């Protein structure tokens, strides 16, 4: 029996997910999961912006200012792409149409607000990057208990930590990695046979050091760090296959994420540059870190990240290379959305 104490918005939303979508909507299971995630985010946003819990949510709370603010928050605070932003808008539009058919008067403010928000057009040839959440998912996918899984974990982690090109990673030898005054360093040979020396985040350095020790190559200075299953040196095509594998796994487990049509190993390099810029790293430092021949190449990332520059990234290394402990159960904040959206 439906809880009559809940406001009309929550009652109709629950009905749409528990009764309408499973039987009549024709939406795939992945789309339904993605729509649920959209409304979890909406509840989270309104909870933060208006201090309203799910049991207090009314249709009139979702005026144009709120809906537009939610979609801007999706892009700026959460760093989502235009495609993801449009997907969240589609979820709102789908429910707005359903709600108006059930209670036209109550849902009118919400439906009109959704109709006023335009679908955004993607810029031509956008530079695709992973969001911070997507990086976190991707780096945790390989199984370190398996030999190739451990290799893949180290490879993906190192590519994010170093921003290195795929060929540069293939060319890395054991002698190119060393520890100096408790700092983990790489000598990378880039385009035009130019070399650069960079410092990588300590947890990534520790992981790479353990990988070399456990695979027995720590003392083989001329050995390549990353072999394939059949050759002593990995190739770009091998790295591409590794990315395809884990992107597919990530999409299966997180259908609300990884929404771009195509990702490549170079996506991680774009991601590293953008996240460094957003974390406040000077552009000339990023240029040298990535091995760009001209600062104009690096400046393209400034244009890319302009839409998300207001995100509060405290510290790139601390946030994404440290081991964060989960809060005890009694310290976790109550989730601001109802059970049917879980």
Q: Give the pLDDT confidence of 175-204 residue by residue, as tens digits.
A: 999 998 889 999 998 877 788 998 899 999
The residues that bridge with 177 in the sheet, in sequence order, are: 186
pLDDT at 297: 73
pLDDT at 126: 61
CA dist 190 and 169 (Å) reads 10
Tell whether the model's pLDDT for residue 147 goes beyond 50: yes
> Any idea which residue has 């487990």 for tokens?
253
Confidence of residue 25 (pLDDT cuts 50, 70, 90): low
Tell whether the model's pLDDT for residue 77 goes beyond 50: yes
Q: Shortest CA distance to 39 belongs to which of 70, 4, 2?
A: 70
Distance of CA 317 to the CA centre of its chain: 16
CA dist 17 and 5 (Å) reads 19
Averaged pLDDT score across all residues of the chain: 82
Segment 40-70, tens digit of pLDDT: 889 888 888 888 776 777 888 889 999 999 9
Assess contact for 101 and 225: CB atoms under 8 A. no
Query: Hey, where are the domains in the chain?
Result: 8-124, 132-321
Give helix 8-15 / helix 82-102 axis angle, nearest 10°.
100
Confidence of residue 316 (pLDDT cuts 50, 70, 90): low
pLDDT at 158: 94
Assess contact for 172 and 225: CB atoms under 8 A. yes
The mean-pLDDT minimum among 37-46, 90-99, 164-173, 320-329 falls in 320-329
Helices (H), 62-146: 64-76, 82-102, 104-116, 132-140
Domains 8-124 and 132-321 share a fold: no
Q: Shortest CA distance to 138 belongs to which of 50, 245, 28?
A: 245
Q: CA end-to-end span of the chain, whole Å?
A: 19
Q: What percentage of residues in the chain have a pLDDT greater than 90?
A: 31
pLDDT at 336: 59
Q: Which CATH architecture has domain 8-124?
A: Orthogonal Bundle (1.10)
Tell whether the model's pLDDT for residue 311 goes beyond 60: no
Alpha-carbon dihedral sign for residues 329, 330, 335, 340: positive
Assess contact for 298 and 281: CB atoms under 8 A. no
pLDDT at 315: 44
Instruction: For strands 177-180 and 195-200, give the pairing.
Output: unpaired
Q: Between 27 and 261, whose confidence is greater?
A: 261
Which CATH number fits the domain 132-321, given the four candidates 1.20.140.10, 3.30.1330.60, 1.20.1370.20, 1.10.443.10? 1.10.443.10
CA dist 150 and 127 (Å) reads 29
CA–CA–CA angle 28, 7, 88 (5° rounding): 35
Give this prediction's pTM.
0.56
Q: Between 309 and 119, whose confidence is greater?
A: 119
pLDDT at 268: 92
Token representation of residue 190: 């880039």
Assess contact for 226 and 186: CB atoms under 8 A. no
> Any idea which residue has 């040298």 for tokens?
288
CA dist 46 and 273 (Å) reads 32
CA dist 254 and 105 (Å) reads 36
Segment 263-307, tens digit of pLDDT: 888 899 889 988 888 888 888 888 888 888 877 777 776 655 544
Tell whether the model's pLDDT for residue 327 goes beyond 60: no
DSSP label at residue 122: P
Give helix 265-278 / helix 132-140 axis angle, nearest 10°.
130
pLDDT at 308: 46
Token representation of residue 165: 């090109």
Q: Would you tell me how many other CB atoms lie within 10 Å of the CB of residue 298?
A: 20
Q: Shortest CA distance to 110 belongs to which of 95, 132, 127, 131?
A: 95
């Amino acid at each position: 029996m439906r809880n009559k104490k809940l406001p009309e918005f929550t009652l109709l939303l629950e009905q749409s997910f528990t009764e309408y979508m499973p039987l009549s909507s024709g939406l795939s299971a992945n789309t339904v999961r993605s729509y649920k995630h959209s409304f979890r985010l909406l509840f989270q946003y309104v909870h933060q912006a208006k201090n309203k819990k799910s049991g207090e949510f009314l249709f009139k709370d979702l005026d144009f200012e709120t809906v537009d603010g939610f979609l801007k928050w999706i892009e700026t605070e959460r760093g989502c792409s235009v495609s993801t932003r449009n997907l969240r808008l589609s979820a709102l539009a789908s429910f707005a149409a359903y709600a108006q058919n059930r209670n036209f008067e109550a849902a009118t403010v919400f439906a009109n607000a959704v109709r006023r928000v335009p679908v955004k057009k993607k810029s031509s040839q956008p530079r695709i990057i992973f969001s911070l959440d997507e990086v976190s998912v991707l780096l945790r996918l390989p199984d370190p208990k398996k030999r190739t899984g451990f290799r893949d974990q180290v490879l993906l982690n190192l590519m994010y930590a170093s921003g290195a090109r795929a060929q540069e990673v293939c060319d890395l030898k054991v002698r190119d990695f060393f520890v100096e005054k408790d700092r983990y360093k790489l000598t990378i040979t880039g385009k035009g046979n130019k070399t650069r020396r960079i410092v990588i985040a300590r947890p990534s350095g520790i992981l790479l050091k353990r990988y070399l020790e456990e695979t027995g190559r720590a003392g083989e200075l001329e050995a390549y760090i990353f072999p394939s299953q059949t050759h002593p040196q990995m190739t770009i095509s091998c790295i591409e296959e590794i990315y395809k594998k884990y992107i597919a796994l990530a999409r299966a487990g997180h259908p609300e994420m990884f929404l771009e049509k195509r990702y490549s190993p170079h996506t991680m390099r774009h991601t590293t540059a953008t996240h460094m810029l957003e974390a406040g790293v000077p552009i000339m430092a990023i240029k040298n870190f990535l091995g760009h021949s001209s600062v104009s190449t690096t400046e393209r990332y400034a244009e890319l990240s302009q839409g998300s520059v207001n995100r509060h990234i405290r510290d790139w290394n601390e946030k994404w290379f440290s081991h964060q402990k989960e809060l005890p159960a009694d310290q976790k904040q109550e989730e601001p959305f109802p059970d049917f959206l879980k």
